[in-house]
Amino acid sequence: MATFFTYTSWGRSLGFTYLDWFIVAVYLVASVAVGLLGKRFIGKSVSHYLVAGRELGLYIGIATLAATEIGTITFMYNAELGYRYGFSAFSAALISGLAMIIVGRTGFVIRRFRELQLMTVPEYFERKYSLGLRLLTGILVALGGILNMGVFLKIEGEFLTIVSGIPTRYMVLTMTVILVLEVLYTVLGGMVSVVITDFLQYVLLSVATILVSIYAVHYAGWSNIVNKVSSTMGVAGYNPLVNPKFGAAFVIWQLLLWFSIHTCWQTTAMRMFSTKSPEISRKVMTWTGFIYLGRGMLPMLWGIAALTLFGAGAMDRGVPSPVVNGSTLAALDAMPAMLSQILRPGIKGLVVAGMLAATMSVNSSYLLGWSSILSQDVVLPMRRLLHKRPLSSRAQIVVNRVANLFVSLFLMFWGLYYTPPGAVYLYLNITGTIFLAGAFVCVTGGLYWRGANTVGGYSAMLMGAAGAIVPFFLLHSNETIAGFAAFGLAAVGLVVGSTLGRLHKPPLMSGTQGTTI
């Protein structure tokens, strides 16, 4: 079998055979071709473009929601967590899955959201509060979401270069080509294209996930995995409550965070808005919750397997650094390095195609999600505040496409050069918290508390953002403190602001104050 011999930054030739390249090429062509089919179905309607005409059934809903929230970035940060914190990391996966199942079973927030026939989360802020608060929320959501997505490309590129053996100097070019392909079908076909490709990508990424899990346990050995965690981390490798990085405060913060992600994260919420009925949205959320357990735990297991096979270097923050063929790597790169070593030709191509599928499904959904916020919740409200005439449905689609291209360009320049500090999972959590804390408090307050009003809404959004930004970026506190500060300040902001708002009744209060919608 002919083989491409290439050299990575850690100096060992890796084999990516013609068969592997063929599998990857077939996937890329099929994915783009299938994605372009979506353009036939969007017509002139903005609701077709953004929420697929609200026609998603249960199974395609599960596929698109799972594919949207499982990317190569997900595998990378979860594997890093497993490598650094052992089985204790499983607590984060368990919380994310259980929170999703609870939201699905109870219909908490998502049922009411679907009944309101929204297209974006900030749209709710105008219905309940005011146009101005919708604009502020739109800006914060777009800012936090795009910055959050900003680290995806570089980390996904690292995975692909290590596993496939593409020289690192071609990483920028490779990721740019992949981004262009994603943008092509997302811009043209909107949500319909994203849903079609998500289905194909979900099946492929799931097969890759199952294959890698089998390989990882087979090569590392279950008893070796358990022994390695025991000898390296002791009880902290199993019990999250005694692990210094986790603890009870972390568990509570994660609960708050995951409830807010499953209800207010734009890309997740868009799937709920796109379902045929509120009942279908509940079922989609419930069943995807079970997938979320595997979404977290399986890649964490890969990380622990990588620790078992390659964790032999100098101690770094309590765990030995991975050493592969004499070169010391970062903990983040341990999992892809392991895959490059243990996967056979053919299987490696299938896994890389699966990871590309994961990458493209997440990126296309996120591009559509954040560009829809820019077009629907920033550009359109600003036009209304400036008393300009409303845009037609077709013009809104054009604005969304331009916003999509803008986000893509930003990602190309920011995403490929910025390196997040510390564990990627925690960095993503805290950038998301910038808007999630305020948004979650405003949404739950608006839906379930009659006293919530516009002054409280403004206070919650601003104090929630400050609570995440000031402790983490300026005071360099750890993520748990910043997370608690954000949610705590947002809640205080809503209650105190709403109370003051009722006393003074300023003219900016509008929407449906004094009711719950």
Partner 1 sequence: MRAWQTFWSVSLVVAGGSFTLITVVVAIKGFQDLRDLFRRLRRQQDEEQ
DSSP 162-221: HHH---GGGHHHHHHHHHHHHHHHHHHHHHHHHHHHHHHHHHHHHHHHHHHHHHHHHHH-
Binding partner 1 (rule: CB under 8 A), the pick from 28, 116, 251, 293 is: 293
Q: Does 287 bind partner 1 (CB under 8 A)?
A: yes
Binding partner 1 (rule: CB under 8 A), the pick from 51, 76, 93, 489 is: 93
Q: Does 278 bind partner 1 (CB under 8 A)?
A: no
Q: Does 224 bind partner 1 (CB under 8 A)?
A: no
Tell me phi and psi for residue 389, to 5 degrees.
-70, 150
3-state secondary structure of 7: strand
How far apart are alpha carbons 335 and 343 in whole angstroms?
Answer: 12
CB nearer partner 1, residue 170 or residue 290: 290
Whose tokens are 């004094």? That residue is: 514
Residue of 250, 269, 293, 490 whose CA lies nearest to 368: 269
Q: Are residues 272 and 261 in contact, defined by beta-carbon separation less than 8 angstroms? A: no
Binding partner 1 (rule: CB under 8 A), the pick from 72, 161, 193, 209 is: 209
CB nearer partner 1, residue 211 or residue 382: 211
Binding region for partner 1 (CB under 8 A) out of 87-95, 169-177, 360-368, 466-474: 87-95
Size of the site for partner 1 (CB under 8 A): 49
How many angstroms separate the Cα of 360 from the Cα of each of 193, 265, 497? 12, 19, 42
CB nearer partner 1, residue 43 or residue 451: 43
Residue of 329, 67, 97 whose CA lies nearest to 209: 67
Binding flags for partner 1, 173-202, as an x/- string (CB under 8 A): -------------------x--xx--x--x
3-state secondary structure of 516: coil
CB nearer partner 1, residue 23 or residue 93: 93
Binding flags for partner 1, 43-82, as an x/- string (CB under 8 A): xxx--x---xx-xxxxxxxxx--x----------------
CB nearer partner 1, residue 226 or residue 500: 226
Q: Measured from the CB of residue 230, what is the shortest distance to partner 1 in angstroms?
A: 7
Applying the rule CB under 8 A, the residues between 304 and 323 that interact with partner 1 are none
How many angstroms separate the Cα of 311 from the Cα of each of 161, 219, 472? 21, 14, 30
Dmax over Cα atoms in the chain, in whole Å? 78
Q: Are residues 294 and 209 in contact, defined by beta-carbon separation less than 8 angstroms? A: yes
Binding region for partner 1 (CB under 8 A) out of 15-23, 206-214, 250-258, 465-473: 206-214
Query: Strand 311-316 to strand 13-17: parallel, antiparallel, or no bridges (unpaired)?
Result: unpaired
How far apart are alpha carbons 278 and 246 in whole angstroms?
Answer: 36
**E-strand spans in 265-379?**
311-316, 319-324, 327-328
Q: Measured from the CB of residue 179, what is the shortest distance to partner 1 in angstroms?
A: 25
Binding region for partner 1 (CB under 8 A) out of 3-11, 38-46, 244-252, 481-489: 38-46
Q: Measured from the CB of residue 489, what is the shortest distance to partner 1 in angstroms?
A: 33
Q: Does 105 bind partner 1 (CB under 8 A)?
A: no
Binding region for partner 1 (CB under 8 A) out of 89-97, 178-186, 258-266, 312-320: 89-97
Q: What Rg, from alpha-carbon coordinates, does the chain have?
A: 23
Binding partner 1 (rule: CB under 8 A), the pick from 10, 49, 87, 366 is: 87
Q: In this structure, what token pair is assigned to residue 113?
A: 């959201």
Site residues for partner 1 per CB under 8 A: 41, 43-45, 48, 52-53, 55-63, 66, 87, 90, 93-94, 97, 192, 195-196, 199, 202-203, 206-207, 209-210, 213, 226, 230, 234-235, 238-239, 287, 290-291, 293-298, 301
